[in-house]
Structure 1
Amino acid sequence: MRLVQVFVPAGELELVLETIEDAGVDYAVAEETSHDEFEAVVSIPVPPAAVEPLLSAFRDAGLDDDSYTIVTAAETIVSDRTDDLIGQFSGTRISREELQSRAMDLAPAASTYYVLLVVSTIIATAGLLLDSAATIIGAMVVAPLMGPALAASVGVVVDDDELATRGVTLQIVGLLASVATAAVIGWVLRGTVLLPPGFDITTVPQIQERITPNVLALFLALGSGIAGVVSLVRNVGSVLVGVAIAVALVPPAATAGLGIAWGHPTVVVTAGTLVLVNLLSINLTALLVLWLSGYRPHRGASVERVYGRLRSRVVVLLVAIAVLSLVLGAVTYGTYQTASVEHDVQTELESMSDDPVFAELQFRAVGVDYELIDIYTGDVPSVTVLVERPPGQQEPPDFAESVRERLEAATGHDLDVAVELVDTQRSES
């Protein structure tokens, strides 16, 4: 339930009361004597779904903007009359005015926002370098990205240009700050005793996850955007939703920064693409869900103009996501191909170990060097095979060629195969 209180300007009490009675809700009037500008305070208990129609009725009746209308959440109302009100006004979403107010509150002051985001990025960068999922998730609790993401969409839908611009600016500058922060941290830590000599960021699983993004990664961003709007319009807890939005944005942004520090263009491109796709997807779903939820500007004349702007933004976002998704699709295909070659090599070597043609030789895959970039540069996969040979046994003629041909037939790729023969003795108790 909500408690709507109207500070009625002098001479407009009758207008206010007629509007309330037309709306069919209960009210109470208290005389206002502390200031000559207002003659009364009218208190109106209503369900959340009734707030927006009531405020629109006041506006249509010509109630001056100089009056105060306050909407507060009523924790408890003890009355049997509320059942009739709730039945009269069905719905669960909050009013347009409450939505706009909450969106403004969710987007913190710039100084607070950037401090929290930098701190979150520092923690997330440490979590990436340590390969600690728990540390990364902990950093996401600090990241204040949910507010700007939703504020931008709310501003567009309710025709608040200042709120929309502020939301977009905070998102873009904030993510650039995250990338820069991670790059500085990586540059400072690189070559120090805190990281082992020859440390390669691409071998860290948590970083590797962000530089080999799958098309399925879109579902996190799309789901986060929908959940963020639902938590906002239904006035339910948004902390966990904020974590989900931060997870979609901060770790890949930090990964892109580490790619800059280590001079890995591929890391920067793939992680940066993931950041952009997630950012655009969150904003797209937020815009669509807000509009489909029925939110419009309070001025009827602005609806058509706002709809045109919304439609243009949606088209731009869809095109941008589609273009960037081509990169995700290429990464998904490349990751599948590299994994497929490694799997086929391992499977064939196991089969060769059991093949009587090779007697007691045992095949082991020491390494398959086939990176994502090799798929598109046309480089041949390089396979190193370790073969355990019992003492005194001779390998078949043209042994390396036979191994290469078997592996090429199994993988369907040309391969560069190196075979290492090791005389092996085993002692069994």
Structure 2
Amino acid sequence: MRYLEITVPEGKRRSVLDILEDEGVDYVVSDETSGRGYTAVVRFPIPTQAVEPLLDRLKRAGIGDEASVVVIDAETVVSERFATLRDQYSRGGQTGARTSRQVLRTKADELTPPFPIYAIMLLISAVVATAGLLADSPAVVIGAMVIAPLLGPALAANVGIVTGDGRLKSTGFTYQLVGVAMVVVASIGLATLARLAGLEPAGVDIVVATELEERVAPNLFSLAVALGAGIAGILSLTRGFSEAIVGVMIAAALIPPSAAVGITVAWGMSGAAIGAAVLVIVNLLSINLAALATLWVAGYRPQGLFEASPTRTPTYTYAAIFGIGLLVLAAPLASVTLLEFHTTELESAAEDEVNAVLAEPRYDELESEDVAIELDGDYPVQSVDRVVVTVTGLESGPEPGLADRLYEEIRPHTDEPLVVEVQYVVAEQRGDDADRRNGNEPLDWP
């Protein structure tokens, strides 16, 4: 429920009261004597879903920006006329109980902090995220997501598009682009300092050693977080759900990948940096496309029928830009996804083939310890480099012909060039097995 207070300009008092009477609103009117060009102040409770159509009707009647409108949350209203009005506007069920367009603009604007605060919070988030990724600490990375103020800009841009608010749209897109750029630059600086300080693991791939791997080689499932964040963000704004949790979800789609771009640039890994940058751009497009589509489906439009057509064109234009960009950039993500499917299938087939070969009598002394698929590390779209088979046995040294035999069995399961590498681990001899191997039988003691 909402409680509205409208300061009526001179000459508009009768028009306002006629509309309220026609709507069945239970109002109170008082004279306005400040001498500032107003004639009355009208106060009345109204169902939440009735705010937007009532204000639209007042606008069409000539009650424009010169009137002052205040919308306040109302806890309880005891009135028969209000109950009738509430029933009238709840015919469509709870689906109609959405935030009015006018309140939506205000809430989106309030969620976008002043730029100095926004920049400071993002810089802190970038430092924390970079440190968390380098330290391979999921808890620290989550902390960076919590403090990143990215919800407001993502929602403001799309609210501005569908409601025809150019200022809100411009602010939202500017904050998003500048914010991501700030995180990348800050991460490059911090990662460069970390590398110069000797924190780079000697001889170890920094991507494999930290939490970077899933960010530099993203797959199609990465889209789920961003799309869900965009939809949840709009629902939180229009239905009154918790914005804080949704803000963390949006930050999860943008902050770690942006920090990953900075780290990989500082380490001179151009392919990995491209992969992380693609994920950042894809997530930005996904969040905005999902938010824009959700707003449009929810029925948010500019004021009046005559303004619907001019805003429909830019809405479709932005949706097309987001969608086409997403489809183009989704191609490498699809390649990574197919590679992961292929790698999983190849690993399963290789395990079956290794077990079948080692089950032969000539390999009774050997057991399969592990079968792993290694990729070539050519980020972001990698390929299978080799199959590493680890076997255990009582004898040290390689088994003649085993690697060739395994290669012949595994090779038909992939079309790519393949190397099969066999690693041997000597099992420790203990107890009865060691005695029997040395020709000694254990003694039975009474």
Q: TM-score, normalised by structure 2?
A: 0.87
> What residue identity is the alignment partner of 2:27?
Y
SS at match of 2:431: coil
**1:268-305, CA deviations, whole angstroms, 9 ceiling, x for partnerless residues?**
12211111111111111111121221211115333212
Matches of 1:298 and 1:223, distance apart in 2: 28
Q: 1:422 to 1:62 in 2, by over 3 A?
A: closer
> What residue identity is the alignment partner of 2:59?
R
> What residue identity is the alignment partner of 1:51?
V
Which residue does the alignment assign to 2:431? 428
Matches of 1:302 and 1:25, distance apart in 2: 27
Task: Please say if 1:27 is aligned against 2:32.
Answer: no
Matches of 2:291 and 2:389, distance apart in 1: 52
SS at match of 2:192: helix
95, 114, 128: which is aligned to 2:100?
Answer: 95
364, 367, 382: which is aligned to 1:362?
Answer: 367
For the 8 Å contact 1:155–1:163, the answer to whether it is kept is: yes
391, 403, 417: which is aligned to 2:406?
Answer: 403
**1:423 Cα offset (Å):** 6.0
For the 8 Å contact 2:48–2:99, the answer to whether it is kept is: yes
Q: 1:362 to 1:301 in 2, by over 3 A?
A: same
Which residue does the alignment assign to 2:222? 217
Which residue does the alignment assign to 1:7? 7
> What residue identity is the alignment partner of 2:195?
R
For the 8 Å contact 2:257–2:279, the answer to whether it is kept is: yes
- What is the aligned length? 427
Matches of 1:29 and 1:420, distance apart in 2: 88
Task: Please say if 1:47 is aligned against 2:50.
Answer: no
Matches of 1:247 and 1:15, distance apart in 2: 50
Matches of 2:398 and 2:137, distance apart in 1: 48
**1:424 Cα offset (Å):** 5.4
> What residue identity is the alignment partner of 2:176?
Q
Q: 1:183 to 1:5 in 2, by over 3 A?
A: same
> What residue identity is the alignment partner of 1:20?
L
For the 8 Å contact 2:223–2:282, the answer to whether it is kept is: yes
Q: 1:308 to 1:374 in 2, by over 3 A?
A: closer
After TM superposition, the structure 1 stretch with the greater mean CA deviation from structure 2, 10-19 or 176-185, is 10-19
Q: 1:89 to 1:194 in 2, by over 3 A?
A: same
**1:138-171, CA deviations, whole angstroms, 9 ceiling, x for partnerless residues?**
2211111111111111111111111111111111
**1:413 Cα offset (Å):** 5.2
After TM superposition, the structure 1 stretch with the greater mean CA deviation from structure 2, 167-176 or 27-36, is 27-36
Which residue does the alignment assign to 1:416? 419
Q: 1:30 to 1:392 in 2, by over 3 A?
A: closer
Q: 1:381 to 1:160 in 2, by over 3 A?
A: same
For the 8 Å contact 1:29–1:43, the answer to whether it is kept is: yes
Which residue does the alignment assign to 1:111? 116
Q: How does 1:25-424 map to 2 (within 5 A)?
A: 25-90=25-90, 91-192=96-197, 194=199, 196-204=201-209, 206-365=211-370, 368-371=373-376, 373=378, 381-391=385-395, 395=399, 398-409=401-412, 414-419=417-422
SS at match of 1:44: strand
For the 8 Å contact 1:212–1:335, the answer to whether it is kept is: no
> What residue identity is the alignment partner of 1:32?
E
Which 4+ stretches in 1 moved above 6 angstroms? 374-378
**1:67 Cα offset (Å):** 2.2
**1:132 Cα offset (Å):** 2.2
> What residue identity is the alignment partner of 1:148?
P
For the 8 Å contact 1:348–1:410, the answer to whether it is kept is: no
**1:32 Cα offset (Å):** 2.3
**1:39 Cα offset (Å):** 2.7
After TM superposition, the structure 1 stretch with the greater mean CA deviation from structure 2, 50-59 or 387-396, is 387-396
Matches of 1:271 and 1:393, distance apart in 2: 42
Q: 1:423 to 1:75 in 2, by over 3 A?
A: closer
> What residue identity is the alignment partner of 1:382?
R
For the 8 Å contact 2:24–2:81, the answer to whether it is kept is: no
SS at match of 1:190: helix
**1:395 Cα offset (Å):** 4.2
> What residue identity is the alignment partner of 1:65?
D
For the 8 Å contact 1:93–1:234, the answer to whether it is kept is: yes
Q: 1:191 to 1:403 in 2, by over 3 A?
A: farther
**1:326-374, CA deviations, whole angstroms, 9 ceiling, x for partnerless residues?**
1110111122333443443344333333321323133445864323649
> What residue identity is the alignment partner of 1:151?
A
Matches of 2:380 and 2:284, distance apart in 1: 28
Matches of 1:387 and 1:343, distance apart in 2: 16
